[in-house]
A and B are shown apart, each in its own frame.
Chain A
Amino acid sequence: MRYKIEVVDKPGIFDAVGQGVRKDICDLGISSVKEVKFIQVYLLAGNLAEGQVESICEELLTDNVAQDYKILSGNPQTSPKSNQHVVEVAYNPGVMDPVEESVLKGIRDLGISDVESVKTAKKYILHGKLSSAQLKTISEKLLYNKLIQHVSSSRSPEEDTKHQPGYSFNLVMVDLLSASDKKLLEISKKGQLFLNLNEMRRIRDHFRKLKRDPTDCELETVAQTWSEHCYHKTFRGNIAYKESGACPSLGNKSIKSLLKSTIMKVTNELNKPWCVSVFKDNAGVIKFDEQNNICFKVETHNHPSALEPFGGANTGIGGVIRDPMGTGLGAKPILNSDVFCFAPPDMAFNKVPTGSLHPKRVMKGVVSGVRDYGNKMGIPTVNGAILFHEHFAGNPLVYCGTVGIMPKDKSFKKTNTGDLVVVVGGATGRDGIHGATFSSGELTHESETVSSGAVQIGNPIQEKKMLDTILQARDANLYSAITDCGAGGLSSAVGEMGAELGAKVYLDKVPLKYSGLSYMEIWISESQERMVLSVPPKNIDKLIKVFSDENVQATVIGEFTDTKRLELFYNDNLVCDLDMRFLHEGIPQIAKKALYIQAKHREPNIPAKKNLTADLLKLLAHYDICSKEWVIRQYDHEVQAGSVIKPLAGLQNDGPSDASVTRPLFDSQKGIIISNGINFRFGFIDPYWMAASCIDEALRQVVSVGGSLKEVAILDNFCWGNPDKPDRLGGLVRAAYGCYDTAKAFGVPFISGKDSLYNEFSVHGKSTAIPGTLLISAISVMEDVNKSVSMYAKQAGDLIYVVGNTRDELGGSHYYDLYAAVGNQAPKVYHQEAKKIFSALSKAANKGLVKAMHDCSDGGLGVALAEMVFSGGLGADIFLGQVPYKSASSRNDFLLFSESNSRFVVEVEKKKQKEFEKTLKGLPFGLAGCLSSGNDFKIYGLDGEPCVNADSRKLKDAWREPLKW
C-alpha cells in the first residue's frame, strides 16, 4: 500500500515558510499572489495494519499543538479552487532524500517495522491570479530544480518510489588497443573522462604492452587519478611563459612545475619549525601548543554550486569538513570559513546566461546549503566574505574552509601491508558520478543535462555520526590511517592510501543505498559522508563495535597488500588490475603555453568635488562592501563556545569584524586567528599585484585583531579560467609569482592550497571566464585571547590614528567601480614598510595600547572610518591633512577611497597617546582626529574644509540596506 500524508499548520498559526515564498514571488516581479500555504508531504510505502498510519501521523509526523494532518490513499488529484494553484515538488528517483533515514528510524521507534520506504515532498498552494507562464516561472525560478526534483503531479507516486532495477554482472572492456587518435578522443569525450590525446595515447600504449584492452573500471580509475581536479596537471606541468609590458617583469621563462617554483618554494625556503605537515596530507598542519596541532584546508565547489546551489554548497562544506577529519589520524573540526563570489543579486533576468540560475537564487541556495551543513555539524562559521561581479553569473565561486584540532601524536598516518580496507559512514549510491572529471572541464549551457549526475545533496547528520565515532576509534588507537572519500570516491581514497603498497578491494562488499549499481559505479561513485580506514586485523571487531554502537556502518571491503597493484573484484571476478606506479606516475608531462600582455584600461575622468558624502554613501552600499548580516546570522558562529572575536561586532553586534578569534580549548587561553584576503578587481590590472594585495589583506586582518606575524601560515586557492588558453594561464603564472615574492618577504609559509581551473561558462561556443580570483586564507596562533582587539569604536574622546601610507592607487578600487572604470594603478605592497607597521601594531595591541583597530580594504580609508564609527554608535571628527599621504595629486577623494595596502585605523585612549606613538616611532602614522559622542561624522579635507558631513546612523543604514532581505 502507498499512503500520502499531508501535514499543514493549524488555522491561526503563522506560516513562515509560505510567507517567505510569497516574498520571493514578489521579488520575481509577480505581485498577484496574495498568500502562499506550505504543506509538508510524506509518501509511505508498506503493508500497514489498521490504525498504524494514524499512529505514525499522530505520534511522529504531526506536531499536534501546531499542525493537522490528512491521509490520502493512492495519489488523488483534488481540483484546486479558482485562483488557487498547487505546486508539489518531490525528489527525482535516485536522489537521496535526507529525511528518509530519520523518518524510517522514527517509525521503527514506534514499534512499526513494515514501512519499506519514505519519500518527502513539498506542496505549495498559491492564492492569486496567475497565468500558466507565471506559474511555470515561479516553479522553475523558486520552487524546484529539475536536476534533483520534479513537480510531482507530472508523475505517479508509483514511479517516485519504485525500486531501482537489479544488476547482473557483465565485464565491460574498452576497445583501446586498436583505437585511432580520433577514436581515442571520442572515447574520452563520450565517457566524460576529460583526458587529452596525449594521455589517451599513454594509456593505450601501456595496455598495448600488456597485450590486452583495459576494463571500463581501469580506464575510469586512470582518468580520475589523472584529472585536473585530483592531479593538478597545470600547476605541476611545464609552462612556457612569455610576457610583455609587465611590471615587475618576470622575464620569459620555462617553468617546471609552477607549484614547486612558487608556492611550495616559499615554504621550503622559510622552513618554519612549527610547520608540522605541509602539502602532504588532506590539510596543512601547524603546531598549536605542546599537546595539539591544528590543520586548515580550503576547498572550492564551484561547478556543482552553479547547477544546484543548495546541494553544491552543502556537499562542498561537507567535503571540506572531511579534509581535517582525514588529516593525520583525524582532527576534530572546530571552525568553518566561507567565501563566495556571485553575480549581483539584482541582475536583470534577461542578462543571465542561458542555462544558468539567477544570481539571487544561486546566492540564497548557496547560503542555505552552507547553513544547513555547518550548523548541523555543530561547527561555527566564524569568518567569510562575499564579492560580486557580472562574470560570475554562469560560474559562481564557493570556497569552503575548515580548521581542525588533533593531539600531536595523532598527526601522522601509515598504512601497513595486511591492514584491512574499511569503509565507514554512508552507503554508496549512483549519486555524484563523474564529479572529479566534470570539474576538470568548462561549464556549458548543456552542463545541467550532461553532468547532472555530479550533483548531490548532503546528509550532515550522517557525517556528524561518523565524526563522533571516528574520534572515539582514533583515541582508542584502532586504525593506522584514514582518508576521506571525496572527488573520485573509493577510487581515489583507496588508490591514494595504497599507492606505495597495493590494495585488493571486493566491490560487492561495499554497502549500497539501493541495488542496481555496476562494479564500476560502486568504485567511482562520489556518494557523500564516507571515509576509508586502514585497520590492523586484530582491531577490527573493536572498531566495528565503536561504529555500530552509534548506528554507523563500518564494513571491511578489502586489504592492503604488498603487490604494488590495484586489484578490484566483483563476486570473484577480477575487474581491475592496475600497476600503482603507472596509475600515480604514468601521466605524461603536460606542456602548456602562457602569455601575459599587460592590459591598458581607461582612466576615469572624475572631477574633484568638495562634498564626498554621496560617494561615501554609495560605496557603503556597494554589494562588495555592504553588510552581510543577513548571511552571517544564519550561520551558527557560537557553537562549541569558543568564539572570542565574532563575525559581527559593535554596540549592536552588527559591525563587520576583520579576522575571527576562536579559543578551541576550555582550559587554555590560546586562540586561533582566521582571516582571508580576496580582491579579484586588482587582477584586472595585474594578477601579480592582486596576489600581493590578497596576502597583505589576510595578514593585516590578523594584525587588526591583535595577532602578530610570528606564526602565520597561509593557504592559496586559485579559481581561474581555462588554463589551456595562454592568456588565462599567463595571469595565473603572474599571480603565483606574486604569491612567492610577497609571502617570502613577509616570512609566511603556505601550508596547503587548491586550484580550481576551467571556471568558464560557454553558451553556444562563446566562452566567458570568471575574473581570475585568488583567495588567501591565513591561520595564526594567538598566545592569549584576552589580548584580542575588535574593530568598533569604543569611547567618545578617544584618539583616532591612521597608520600606513596612502598612495594614489585607485586602480581596481570600488571608487573607480562606481564610475564603471578599472584604471591602471593597482595597489602595491611595500614589504619592508608593511612588515614594520604590522610588527609595531602587534606590539601596541599586545601592550594593551589599542582599544579598537580596523584595517583599510574595500572602499579605503573612508569606508574603514565609517564602519568603525557607526558600529560603535558614535561620531567622529577626522582631519585628512594629518593622514600620511604620498601623492602628487593631493585629492580628498583619492586619499579617502584609494585602496592602498598595509593601512589601519586605530583607536587609542588619550592617556596612552605617548606610549602608542613611541611604539610607532619612525613609521608613517598620523593622529587624524577623535571620536565624539552623538552621531556627527565629519571629515575635514586637505584644505581644512569639511568634505564628508553625515549622521553616522544614516551611513549605517545605507550600509545595511542592500542585502537586508
Chain B
Amino acid sequence: MQKPKVCVLRSAGTNCDKETAAAFKLAGGEPELAHINSLVSGAKSLNDFQILALPGGFSYGDDVASGKIFANELRFKLADSLREFIRAGKLIIGICNGFQILVKSGLLPGSTELKQNTSLIINDSGKFEDRWVYLKPGGRCVWTKGLKNIIYLPVAHGEGKFLAQDKNVLKSLKDNGQVVFRYCDSSGKLSGYPDNPNGSIENIAGICDKTGRILGLMPHPERHLFSMQHPRNWNLKSKKEGDGLQIFKNGVKYVRDNL
C-alpha cells in the first residue's frame, strides 16, 4: 500500500520542518519538504499530497504579527489550490507558527472566504516562553483519536494567547466540537498561569475546523515522539513512544482509511 504523502510546507524562518517530517515518517507517512515558492511557481503541486503540514518557526521573522505574512501568501497566492485540497477531504495540521498561519489566513476555524475571526496574540507574560504543558483533548477531530485523557507536550512561543472575535465565534467553536486541546494541570483541571502558559481564553490550546480535518495547536507534538524527550524520563526508559506521536499516526491512518 502506498504511504500517505505529506507536504511539509516551509518558508523563510520555518524551523520545525525536519522534526515534523520525522514525526510523519515515524507514523508511516511519506513526508516531503516543500518551499512555498515551489508551490507558487508550480514546480510542486498540492494535488500530489494528502496531508499538508505547516510546521513551527518564525515565518518572515513573525514581523508585523506571527504567521501573518505567510498567511497572506496562502490567501493571495495559493487560495484556489488550498480550497480544492480541503474540498477533496484532505488533512491539514498547523503547529505553533503553523497554527498562527492557519488562524491568520482564516483557514481556522474555517471560512471559505478565508477571513480571520480568531487570533493568537502576544502572551500575557509579554515574553517568549518554553515549558512543558498538560493538555486535555476534546472536540471532534480526526487527529485526536485514541489520545490519553491528558497528554504532555512542550510549548515554545511568544504569541500564543488564543482569542475569538466575539462571543458568538467562541460559542460556535464549542458547540461544534472545534475546541480540541485545552491547557490544564497534571490532574486535568483547567488552571491558570503557568499551566495555561499564555492567557488563552478558556485555556484553548488547539482548535479544528467543522470537519475535524484541519487542526491547529500551539504545543509541539513533534517534540514528544519518544519517551526520552520527556523532561522526567528516568523511569520511562522501558516505554518508547511519546505522547505526540499518536497525533501523526491518526493523520496517516485517516488518509489510509478514507482517501
Residues of A within 8 A of B (CB): 13-14, 16-17, 19-20, 59-61, 63-66, 98-99, 102-103, 105-106, 109-111, 371, 375-378, 459-461, 464-465, 468, 549-551, 632-641, 643-644, 646, 648-651, 653, 663, 666, 785-786, 789-790, 794, 851-852
Contact = CB atoms under 8 A, between A and B. Distances in A.
Given A106-B64, A636-B130, A644 B229 contact: yes
A461 B60 contact: yes
Contact of B12 (A106, A465, A637, A794): A465
B64 A103 contact: yes
B246 interface: no
B72 A378 contact: no
B122 A17 contact: yes
Contacts of B122: 16-17
A97 to B, nearest CB: 10
A64 B116 contact: yes
B229 A65 contact: no
Contact of A102 (B37, B38, B63, B125): B63
B137 to A, nearest CB: 21
B121 to A, nearest CB: 5
Interface stretch (B138-146, B206-214, B218-226, B247-255): B218-226
A633 B104 contact: no
Interface residues of B, number: 62
Interface stretch (B1-9, B15-23, B86-94, B174-182): B15-23
Given A16-B126, A633-B129, A636-B156, A65 B16 contact: no
Interface string B69-95: 100110011000000000000000000
Given A110-B72, A646-B231, A99 B13 contact: no
Contacts of A102: 60-61, 63-64, 69
A850 to B, nearest CB: 10
A670 to B, nearest CB: 12
B113 interface: no
A375 B58 contact: yes
A599 B46 CA distance: 72
Contact of A634 (B26, B64, B127): B127
Contacts of A109: 69, 72-73, 76-77
Contacts of A14: 124, 199
9 contacts: A64-B116, A109-B77, A111-B76, A376-B15, A461-B61, A641-B223, A646-B231, A785-B228, A794-B235
Given A14-B199, A633-B129, A641-B229, A98 B68 contact: no
A461 B228 contact: no
B124 A641 contact: no
A186 to B, nearest CB: 44
Interface in B148-166: 154, 156, 163-165
Given A551-B12, A638-B229, A666-B26, 11 more contacts: A60-B72, A63-B68, A65-B116, A106-B60, A106-B64, A109-B72, A109-B76, A633-B131, A644-B233, A794-B235, A852-B234
A794 B234 contact: yes
Going nearest first, the 7 A-B pairs with the smallest beta carbon separation are: A378-B15, A102-B63, A16-B126, A641-B19, A65-B119, A20-B126, A461-B61
Contacts of B233: 644
Contacts of B225: 641
A474 B77 CA distance: 30
Contacts of A790: 232, 234
Nearest to B18: A640
Contacts of A61: 64
A652 to B, nearest CB: 10
Interface string B24-57: 0010000000010110000000000000000011
Given A102-B60, A378-B15, A633-B130, A16 B125 contact: yes
Contacts of A375: 58, 128, 156
Question: Of A61, A63, A64, A371, which is in contact with the most chain B CB atoms at under 10 Å from its CB?
Answer: A63
A331 to B, nearest CB: 15
Interface in B98-136: 104, 116-119, 121-132
B222 A65 contact: no
Contact of B63 (A99, A637, A646): A99
A105 B127 contact: no
Contacts of B167: none
Contacts, number: 166
B128 A65 contact: no
Given A105-B69, A641-B225, A461 B19 contact: no
A468 B199 CA distance: 34
B72 A550 contact: no
B163 A66 contact: yes
Given A66-B163, A109-B76, A641-B229, A17 B126 contact: yes
Contacts of B68: 60, 63, 106
A638 B234 contact: no
Contacts of A653: 131-132, 231-232
A745 to B, nearest CB: 33
Given A16-B124, A60-B72, A65-B164, A638 B223 contact: yes
Contacts of A459: 61
Contact of A638 (B35, B37, B119, B156): B156
Nearest to A375: B128
A376 B68 CA distance: 16
B154 A638 contact: yes
A465 to B, nearest CB: 5
Contacts of A464: 12-13, 15
A639 B131 CA distance: 12
A404 to B, nearest CB: 14
Contacts of B76: 109-111
B114 to A, nearest CB: 11
B240 to A, nearest CB: 10
B72 A65 contact: no
Contacts of B77: 109
Nearest to A632: B130
B37 A550 contact: yes
Nearest to B36: A550
A162 to B, nearest CB: 23
Contact of B35 (A19, A376, A550): A550
B13 A63 contact: no
A63 B125 contact: no
A392 B123 CA distance: 33
Nearest to A9: B121
Question: Of B12, B68, B73, which is in contact with the most chain A CB atoms at under 10 Å from its CB?
Answer: B12
A852 B232 CA distance: 12
Contacts of B220: 638, 641
A639 B156 contact: yes
A120 to B, nearest CB: 9
B65 interface: yes
A102 B73 CA distance: 12
B72 A63 contact: no
A644 B199 CA distance: 28
B234 to A, nearest CB: 6
A663 B242 CA distance: 15
A872 to B, nearest CB: 10
A17 B12 CA distance: 26
Contacts of A789: 234
B22 A16 contact: no
B12 A65 contact: no
Contacts of B65: 63
Nearest to B35: A550
A459 B12 CA distance: 12
A465 B12 CA distance: 5
Given A464-B12, A666-B22, A106 B69 contact: yes
A549 B38 contact: yes
B216 to A, nearest CB: 15
Question: Of B15, B58, B233, which is in contact with the most chain A CB atoms at under 10 Å from its CB?
Answer: B15
Contacts of B130: 632-638
A680 to B, nearest CB: 29
A638 B237 CA distance: 19
B96 to A, nearest CB: 10
Contacts of A65: 116-119, 163-165
